[in-house]
Structures are given as structure tokens and as C-alpha cells.
Structure 1
Amino acid sequence: MILKGFKEKSNKKYLNKLLLDRHVNVTDSKVVSLGVILNINEVEDFELFRKLADYIKVRPNKLKIIAFSEEKKDNINAWEECYNPKDFGWRGAIKNLELQEFLDTNFDALISYYKKDVLELKLMTAKSKAKFKIGILQTDERLNDLIIKTPLKQFELFKKEVYKYLRILNKID
């Protein structure tokens, strides 16, 4: 129990260091690839994100969706990849190779779709090498380049706002 507290403090310190060292490099490159991080405890329908990718003209082979669950779930059939706190070590270390591969991918855009303030989700967003980060979490504005404040249940509104702002920023045609 004490070690868990030390591990969490270590990861929080690492997250803060990542966010302080982050350099926002917004280019006018188009969105061709899209990564999505979501909390499966809040959103269970991953098809919504496939429709969003189609809406902003991202090809299906350029879309990668990963889920996070606070507890280990064995009954998740629909998810290709679902991660939990056991996939994270001390000082932000990632123990899962597939998760590390996702975070090392240079997506043109990353959508972090979660409201709950979970340290591991924030670590995933911060460690991602995506060029442009979009999210709905407002507890730490340093995580995302674009924050769209919509309720989780109103995904259609979120989808329209993402499209609108990507058009304004000249990221999609």
C-alpha cells in the first residue's frame, strides 16, 4: 500500500516533468493518421471513433484506438488493446510493448477522450509523440493543444466541434 503511494507520486512527478518540458510544435500539416485514447469505464462504443475518423477523412488503416480500464477486465472482447495500471511502472515506465509502440507512433492527431482524472490516462497522453493533441479533460490544460469542452454523452457534438476546429486550423480539407 505504501509502495503504491510512492509509485503514484513518482509517476505524478514524471508527468509534471514531461508537461514542463513539452514544446508545442503546431504545424499546418494535414491529419492523415489518428490515435485515440479512451477510458473504457466511461465510453464503451469504439465504433463512434471509427465514424469520427471517417468524418474527418482518416483512412481506417491510419486509425488506432486503445482503451484503458482502472481494473483488469478479462471480458473485453471488442477491444484489440485494453490497458490497466499494471502496465505502468515507476517514473512513467511503460511495461507493455504494444502500449509503448502506440505512444511512440507519430500520429498527426491524438484524441484523448476521457473526463475522469486518472494519472495513467494523463501519462499516456503526455508520453504520446502525436503532433497535435485534442482532448476534453480540463484539469490540466498542458496535456492537449485543443480542448473541446463537451459532455461525454454528447459525442455527435464533440465530432462536429473537432471537424470545425480542424477545418479552422487547416488540418483537414
Structure 2
Amino acid sequence: MILKGFKAKSNKKYLNKLLSERQVNVTDNKVVSLGVILNIDEFDDFEAFRKLANQIEIRPNRLKIVAFSESEKDDLNSWDECHNPKDFGWNGKINNLELQEFLNTKFDLLISYYNDEVLELKLMTTLSQAKFKIGILQTDERLNDLIIKTNLKEFDLFKKEILKYLTILNKINNNE
């Protein structure tokens, strides 16, 4: 139990170091790839993200969704990838090759769809090599480049806001 606390403290320290060094570099490059990080304990409709990707005109092979759950149940494996706290080591080290591969992918857009203050989710968002990050309002506003303040259950509103801001930022062509 004590080691778990030390591990969490080392990961928080690493997270704060990464966030303080973060350089935001927003360009007007079009979005052609999308990564999604979501907390399956809060929101489990990953078909909604497929529909969103389709609206942004992202090909299915350029969409990657990873889920995170604080529990370690086996029934969550119906997802493409579902990770849990065991996939994280000390000082932000990732112990899962698939998760590390996701984080190393240079997505044009990353959506972090979670509300809970979970250290591992924050690490995933921060460690992602995505060029532009969008998320729900968090206590730490350094995590994302664009923050949309909505309730997790209001996905249609979130989607509408994403489409609006990506159009304004010239990242997508909105043909509506």
C-alpha cells in the first residue's frame, strides 16, 4: 500500500514536469488521423467516436480508440484496447507495448474524453505525441490545447462544438 502511494507520487511529479515543459504549437494542418482516450468507467459508447470520425472525414484505418478502466475485469477485453493501472510503472513508464505504440503515434487530433481526475488518464494525454489535443474541462488546463466544457453525457453537444472549432481553426472542411 505504501509503495502504491510512492508510485502515484512519482507519476504525479513526472506529469507536472512534462506539463511544465509542454510546447503548444497549433498549425492549420487538416485533420487526417484521430486518437481517442476515454474512461470506460464513465463513457462506453465508442461507436459515437466512429460516427464523429466519419463526420470529420477520417478513414477508419486512421482512427484509434483506447479505453482505460480503474478496474481489472476481464469482461472489458471486448474493446480493441482497454488498459488499467497495471499498465503504468514508476515515473510515467508505460508497461504495455500497445499503449506505448498508441502514445507514440503522431495523431493530427487527440480527443481525451473523461471527467474523473485519474492520474493514468492524464499521463496518457500528456505522453501522447498528438499534434492537437481536445478534452473536457479538467482541473489542470495544461493537458489540452482546446477545452470544451460539457457534461460527458452530452456527447452530441461535444461533437457539435468540436466540429465548430475545428472548422474555425481551419482543421476540417465543414460541408454542412
TM range (shorter): over 0.9
Q: What residue is the counterpart of 2:169 in the other structure?
A: 169
Query: Aligned with 1:139: secondary structure?
Result: coil
Counterparts of 1:11 and 1:90, CA distance in 2: 6
Q: What residue is the counterpart of 2:10 in the other structure?
A: 10
1:77, distance to aligned residue in structure 2 (A): 4.4
Counterparts of 2:31 and 2:121, CA distance in 1: 23
Query: Aligned with 1:35: secondary structure?
Result: strand
Unaligned runs of 5+ in 2: none
Q: What residue is the counterpart of 1:59 in the other structure?
A: 59
How many pairs does the alignment contain? 173
Structure 1 length-normalised TM: 0.98
Matched, 1:25 2:22: no
Q: Structure 1 pair 77/11, CA: closer, same or farther in 2 (3 Å)?
A: closer
Q: What residue is the counterpart of 1:117 in the other structure?
A: 117
Cα shift readout 1:118-151 (whole Å, capped 9, x = no counterpart): 0000000000000000000321100000000010
Counterparts of 1:93 and 1:38, CA distance in 2: 20
Q: What residue is the counterpart of 2:140 in the other structure?
A: 140
Counterparts of 2:126 and 2:60, CA distance in 1: 24
Counterparts of 2:113 and 2:146, CA distance in 1: 12
Counterparts of 1:168 and 1:2, CA distance in 2: 48
Cα shift readout 1:34-63 (whole Å, capped 9, x = no counterpart): 000000000111100000101111111100
Query: Aligned with 1:75: secondary structure?
Result: helix
Counterparts of 1:138 and 1:43, CA distance in 2: 16
Query: Aligned with 2:78: secondary structure?
Result: coil
Cα shift readout 1:9-39 (whole Å, capped 9, x = no counterpart): 0000000000011100111111000000000
The two structures, once aligned, show a CA RMSD in angstroms of 0.7
Query: Aligned with 2:25: secondary structure?
Result: coil
Q: What residue is the counterpart of 1:105 in the other structure?
A: 105
Counterparts of 1:167 and 1:136, CA distance in 2: 19
Q: What residue is the counterpart of 2:38 in the other structure?
A: 38
Unaligned runs of 5+ in 1: none
Counterparts of 1:74 and 1:26, CA distance in 2: 39
Matched-pair identity in %: 76
Q: Which amino acid aligns with 2:17?
A: K
